[in-house]
Chains A and B, each alone.
Chain A
Amino acid sequence: MLNPEILKKMIVILTNTHAGEEELSCDECYEEIDHFAELELVGKSAAEAMPLVQEHLEHCQDCREEYEALVAALKFIEQEKPGE
């Protein structure tokens, strides 16, 4: 059933799992992700300021994908603005 690649993936995920900490649900992460993205874009350490969001993004492929897309959109829009 298991191939080494899958096993490796699982183990990497386990190394990032911390028992006892509250983890955010996808919806809770979604609530905060715009704030998180903006912190990141202005060079403030979003991961430090919002560690629960950071942790969720490390564990959740879908949320991470959406976060990266959001940042991509914001970066380009920022470039387009002459400086409103």
Chain B
Amino acid sequence: MTNQEWLAALRAEDNQPALEELRLRLARGLHYALAGRAPDGLLESLEEDVAQEAVLKVLASLDTFRGESQFMTWATKIAVRLAFTELRRKRWQDISLEGLLKVEEEQDYTPAILADKTPSPEQLAERTIMLEAVEKMILETLSERQRQAIMAVLAGGAPMEEVAKQLGTNRNALYKLLHDARLRLQKRLAAEGLSPKDLLALFSEK
């Protein structure tokens, strides 16, 4: 169906067939989108539930469809966003920010440095000094909130939405917070005469 055909069919008085067709296609799309991201049992019911929810969301958002892509692409996008929001919420619901940060802080990172096969004693010393220097820079440059956000997202691999919830904010604001943090750190590194590339080179196998 063309975009116009979809819109017309969904806006028609008897839009049941179109709704059903949409639901089926979204469920199938979700099946491919989510493959391997959660246990099969969970995925099956999730696909069904989200497809249903997505149909409602698509209907409610029909007027915002700009036609810059195909209708099914746009609708699938909506379904994928809903599915991931739900998956992330389920996966992270029992984890708190404090929990995430605590795990990170308790980790003894000495084994990670020592596990590296190649560093000479000089390199090891250089890296340790650099680690401490950068850590100091981070503490001085970033606000506590920025530090927590970065650590949770990077270290904990936590999804933005969940971290945002924990920090009492939303995903967009969190993204901006992280963006500002990145810019600040970059400026600070530059002020110290360090480029990210130089730092990376320190850590690569030589």
Contact = CB atoms under 8 A, between A and B. Distances in A.
User: Which of A9, A34, A65 has most B Cβ within 10 Å?
Assistant: A34
Interface of B: 1, 25, 28-30, 32-35, 37, 68-70, 72-74, 76-77, 80-81, 83-84, 88, 104-105, 107, 109, 112-113, 127, 131, 134-135, 138, 150-151, 153-155, 157, 159-161, 171-172, 175-176, 178-179, 182-183, 185-187, 189, 196-197, 199-200, 203
A4 B187 contact: no
Contacts of A19: 183, 186-187
B138 to A, nearest CB: 7
Interface in A37-84: 37-38, 59-62, 65-66, 69-70, 72-77, 80, 84
Given A4-B127, A74-B73, A80-B28, 20 more contacts: A1-B104, A2-B109, A2-B138, A8-B203, A10-B150, A13-B154, A17-B183, A23-B179, A25-B175, A26-B175, A30-B81, A34-B77, A37-B69, A38-B70, A62-B88, A70-B80, A73-B29, A74-B29, A75-B32, A84-B1
Nearest to A3: B109
A10 B113 CA distance: 17
A73 B197 contact: no
Interface of A: 1-15, 17, 19, 23, 25-27, 30, 33-35, 37-38, 59-62, 65-66, 69-70, 72-77, 80, 84
4 smallest beta-carbon distances between A and B, as pairs: A3-B109, A69-B33, A73-B33, A34-B69
Contact of A4 (B105, B112, B157): B112
16 contacts: A5-B112, A6-B151, A7-B135, A10-B185, A17-B186, A19-B187, A26-B172, A30-B77, A35-B68, A60-B160, A70-B73, A72-B32, A73-B32, A76-B32, A77-B72, A77-B76
A4 B203 contact: yes
Given A33-B77, A70-B77, A6 B154 contact: yes
B181 to A, nearest CB: 10
| A interface majority secondary structure | helix
A25 B72 CA distance: 24
Contacts of A35: 68-69
Contacts of A15: 196-197, 200
Contact of A14 (B74, B107, B175, B189): B189
A2 B154 CA distance: 11
Given A2-B109, A37-B69, A62-B161, A25 B172 contact: yes
Contacts of B69: 34-35, 37-38
Contacts of A77: 25, 28-29, 32, 72, 76
